């Protein structure tokens, strides 16, 4: 196995790191003081400059305006952008748009690509993904209440969703809905349907208050109702009954994107921790970093981040080489390992900074609140732990279902 970074990866990392430092870190205090929606004019200008770097929507092929990065290359970029809360948004590679772009590219018809994908890639519109429902367990995505029924030339969608990120201001949603409740396999009951948010019967009920923040625009999570919402039959995305399979396929690469973003967060947190440890004097001439407990936090964080990065890059390599299905154990391993690593590293950094770590003078407190969800979304820790353990036990002749 070759651990060397290619010339291209080194260039991507260096362009992204410089952009984050020069253009995005200076915007962070405003992001913490003001609502996201109030920053849109500044963010638009930053996005225009991001386009000039050649890394805009970098996961997409060049003919779609991207940089044609492979998954491993994109993973490196994701780490660099993860060092600031607005890195991915600045380059139009933020969830859920990044996954929605990938689904549209892979499964959309030519007409769907023109109508939904092209403006999304340009950054002219945003999108959202509505799957989770308050009344059903999101951890079992084969069981949901939302239905889509054919009526003449339209789908009629009825259902109740929540925790859909970035609905506020989105131009369209991808809706997961049951289209064949009688399909023998529970994995073939649901389909994905493209729903413009101005379609009759689509209601953005409200942004949810999450960790004390109702959010706005892209930085929000919302409740949505489909009240007999009508969209043309041609808005079916991919094959009928393929919703679960498409979602699983999308989540493979999506988890790599998230995990490398979290590693970027870890690196920034460790940097803040070390700077403070090296400069904060406990008594004259005795900086905090002279304490063994702080040294232990530094060394353990470095070891955990290093291990986590290698795991994610390996998973990305395996997905790219053998496909999502072959890499499902690696995908589950990274999902719960890196989410927990991030939580530990953030906690150590906040503890080292003391009261300063609780303020909004650094991004640590923001991440502490906004990234707690990492252990829940895209599959809670416990589901992924269970996937891995069951597969291992199967090797011992045990059916652990
Ligand atoms: C910040 C954030 C953003 C999100 N964005 C989106 C989005 O854009 N679109 C969308 O559709 N959804 C989104 N979600 C929802 C997310 O996908 C669900 O929260 C997730 O799938 C878990 O579903 P649930 O909340 O219904 O928990 P449940 O399924 O009710 O599970 C509750 C808890 O039970 C435990 N548990 C569940 N299954 C098992 C098991 N097999 N073994 C042991 N323990 C188990 C876990 O501890 C779990 O946390 C988001 C969530 C968060 C927090």
Beta strands 172-178 and 127-130 are parallel
Q: pLDDT tier at 382 (50, 70, 90 boundaries)?
A: very high
Closest CA to 175 of 200, 189, 196: 196
Q: Which two tokens stand for residue 7?
A: 């010339």
Task: Say if residue 250's pLDDT is above 90.
Answer: no
d(CA 196, CA 202): 8
Separation of CA 140 and ligand 1 centre (Å)? 9
Q: Tokens 């921790």 appear where? A: 273
190 - beta bridge partners? 178
Q: Is 131 in the pocket of ligand 1 (CB under 6 A)?
A: yes
- Tens digits of per-residue pLDDT, 14-48? 999 999 999 999 999 999 889 999 999 999 999 99
Separation between Cα atoms, residue 276 and residue 287, nearest integer Å: 9
Closest approach atom of ligand 1 to CA 138:
23
CA 168 to ligand 1 center in whole angstroms: 21
The residue whose CB lies within 8 Å of the most ligand 1 atoms, and thus the one to mutate among 142, 163, 223, is: 163
CB within 8 Å of 193: residues ≥ 6 apart: 148, 155, 157, 174, 175, 177, 231, 235, 236, 237
**Positive or negative torsion for Cα 249, 251, 253, 256:** negative
pLDDT at 251: 86
pLDDT digits (tens, 9 = 90+) for 105-138: 999 999 999 999 999 999 999 999 999 999 999 9
Q: Say how far apart CA 93 and CA 258 lie, in whole Å.
A: 11
Q: Is the dihedral of CA 190, 195, 197, 200 positive or negative?
A: negative
Here the tokens at position 284 are 């004259």
Token pair 């154990």: residue: 329
Strand duo 202-207 + 154-165: pairing: unpaired
Is the minimum distance from the CB of 135 to ligand 1 under 6 angstroms? no
Q: Determine if ligand 1 sits within 6 Å of the CB of residue 163.
A: yes
What count of other Cβ atoms lies within 10 Å of the Cβ of residue 159? Answer: 22
CB atoms near residue 245 (< 10 Å): 17
Residue nearest to atom 44 of ligand 1 (CA): 382
Distance of CA 89 to the CA centre of its chain: 11
Alpha carbon of 327 to ligand 1 centroid (Å):
22
pLDDT digits (tens, 9 = 90+) for 302-354: 999 999 999 999 999 999 999 999 999 999 999 999 999 999 999 999 999 99
If you average pLDDT over every residue of the chain, what do you get? Answer: 96
* Alpha helices in 280-327, H assignment, sequence order: 292-322
Q: Is residue 1 scored above 80 in pLDDT?
A: no
Q: Is the CB of 137 under 6 A from ligand 1?
A: yes
What percentage of residues in the chain have a pLDDT greater than 70? 100
Cα-Cα-Cα-Cα dihedral sign, residues 55, 58, 63, 68: positive
Tens of pLDDT, residue by residue over 168-196, are 999 999 999 999 999 999 999 999 999 99
Distance from residue 401's CA to the centre of ligand 1 (Å): 20
Residue to mutate, 95, 103, 134, 138, ligand 1, most ligand atoms under 8 Å from C-beta: 138
**Residue 13 backbone phi and psi in degrees, to 5:** -60, -40
Using CA atoms, how far apart are residues 28 and 40, in angstroms rounded to an integer? 13
How many other CB atoms are there within 10 angstroms of residue 194's CB atom?
24
Q: State if residue 208 touches ligand 1 by the CB under 6 angstroms criterion.
A: no
With beta carbons less than 8 A apart as the criterion, state whether 154 and 231 touch.
yes
**Which ligand 1 atom is nearest residue 176's CA?**
11
pLDDT in tens, 41-82: 999 999 999 999 999 999 999 999 999 999 999 999 999 999
C-beta of residue 93 within 8 angstroms of C-beta of residue 58: yes
Q: Which DSSP string do the residues of 132-183 spell out, in sequence order? A: --TTS-TT-TT----EEEEETTEEEEEEEEEEEET-TT-SEEEEEEES-TT-
Q: Which pLDDT value is given to residue 10? A: 97
Question: Is the pLDDT reported for residue 2 higher than 90?
Answer: no
Pick from 239, 151, 246: nearest CA to 201: 151
State whether the beta carbon of 82 lies less than 6 angstroms from ligand 1: no
Give the Cα separation of 127 and 65 in Å (integer).
18
Contacts with 317 (C-beta within 8 Å, 6 or more apart), sequence order: 71, 72
pLDDT (0 to 100) of residue 265: 98
**For residues 145, 195, 176 and 163, what is the CA-based torsion angle, rounded to 10 degrees?**
-80
Q: Is the minimum distance from the CB of 252 to ligand 1 under 6 angstroms?
A: no
| Intra-chain end-to-end CA distance of the chain, in Å | 35
CA distance linking residue 401 with residue 386, whole number of Å: 9
The 10s digit of each residue's pLDDT in 189-219 is 999 999 999 999 999 999 999 999 999 999 9
133's CB contacts (< 8 A; 6+ apart) are: 144, 145, 146, 159, 160, 161, 162
Digit-coded pLDDT (tens) for 148-160: 999 999 999 999 9
Report the C-alpha gap between 304 and 336 in whole angstroms.
13
């Amino acid at each position: 196995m070759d651990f060397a970074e290619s010339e291209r990866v080194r260039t991507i990392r260096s362009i992204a790191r410089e952009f984050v430092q020069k253009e995005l870190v200076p915007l962070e205090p405003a992001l913490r003081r003001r609502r996201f929606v109030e920053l849109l004019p500044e963010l638009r200008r930053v996005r225009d400059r991001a386009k000039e770097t050649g890394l805009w929507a970098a996961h997409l092929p060049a003919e779609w305006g991207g940089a044609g990065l492979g998954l491993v290359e994109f993973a490196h970029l994701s780490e660099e952008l993860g060092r600031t809360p607005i890195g991915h948004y600045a380059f139009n590679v933020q969830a859920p748009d990044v996954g929605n772009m990938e689904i549209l590219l892979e499964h959309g018809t030519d007409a769907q690509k023109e109508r939904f994908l092209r403006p999304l890639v340009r950054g002219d519109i945003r999108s959202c993904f509505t799957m989770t429902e308050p009344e059903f367990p999101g951890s079992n995505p084969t069981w949901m209440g939302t239905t889509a029924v054919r009526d003449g030339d339209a789908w009629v969608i009825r259902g109740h969703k929540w925790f859909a990120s970035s609905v506020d201001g989105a131009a369209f949603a991808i809706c997961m809905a049951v289209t064949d409740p009688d399909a023998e396999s529970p994995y073939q009951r649901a389909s994905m349907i493209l729903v413009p948010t101005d379609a009759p019967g689509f209601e953005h009920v409200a942004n949810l208050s999450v960790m004390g923040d109702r959010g706005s625009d892209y930085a929000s999570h919302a409740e949505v109702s489909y009240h007999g919402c009508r969209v043309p039959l041609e808005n079916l995305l991919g094959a009928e009954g393929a919703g679960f399979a498409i979602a699983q396929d999308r989540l493979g690469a999506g988890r790599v994107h998230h995990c490398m973003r979290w590693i970027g967060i870890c690196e920034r947190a460790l940097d803040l921790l070390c700077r403070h440890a090296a400069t904060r004097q406990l008594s004259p001439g005795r900086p905090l970093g002279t304490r063994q407990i702080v040294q232990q936090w530094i060394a353990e964080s470095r070891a955990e981040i290093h291990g986590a990065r290698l795991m994610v890059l390996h998973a990305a390599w395996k997905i790219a080489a053998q496909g999502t299905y072959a890499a499902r154990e690696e995908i589950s391993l990274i999902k719960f390992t890196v989410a927990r690593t991030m939580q530990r590293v953030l906690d150590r950094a906040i503890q080292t900074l003391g009261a300063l770590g609780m303020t909004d003078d650094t991004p640590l407190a923001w991440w502490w609140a906004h990234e707690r969800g990492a252990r829940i979304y895209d599959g809670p820790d416990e589901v992924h732990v269970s996937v891995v353990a069951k597969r291992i036990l199967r090797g011992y002749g045990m059916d652990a279902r």
